[in-house]
Structure 1
Amino acid sequence: MGLHLPDGPVTLDDVPRMRTLGDVVELLGVATPLYVRFSAGPEKDSTTVSRDHESGCELPGLSVNPLDPEPWWDRPVEHWVARQLCQYAHLLTPERFPWALTGEIVGRGPDCEPLLDATVPVASIDRAVVDEAAALYECVFDPGNDGT
Structure 2
Amino acid sequence: MTHPTAARQDLAAGPSFSELRWATALFAVALLTHGADHLRRGMDTVSSTVMVLGTVQFMLGVATIALVFTGHRWAALAAVAIGFVSAAGFILVHLCPDWFGPLSDSFINPPAAARVNGFSWFAAIFEIIADLLLGFAGLRARRSVA
TM-score band, normalised by shorter chain: 0.3 to 0.5
Q: Larger Cα Rg: Structure 1 or Structure 2?
A: 2
Report which structure shows greater RCO (CA 8 Å, sep ≥6): 2
Q: Which has the higher helix share?
A: 2
Q: Which has the higher strand share?
A: 1
TM-score where L is the length of structure 1:
0.33
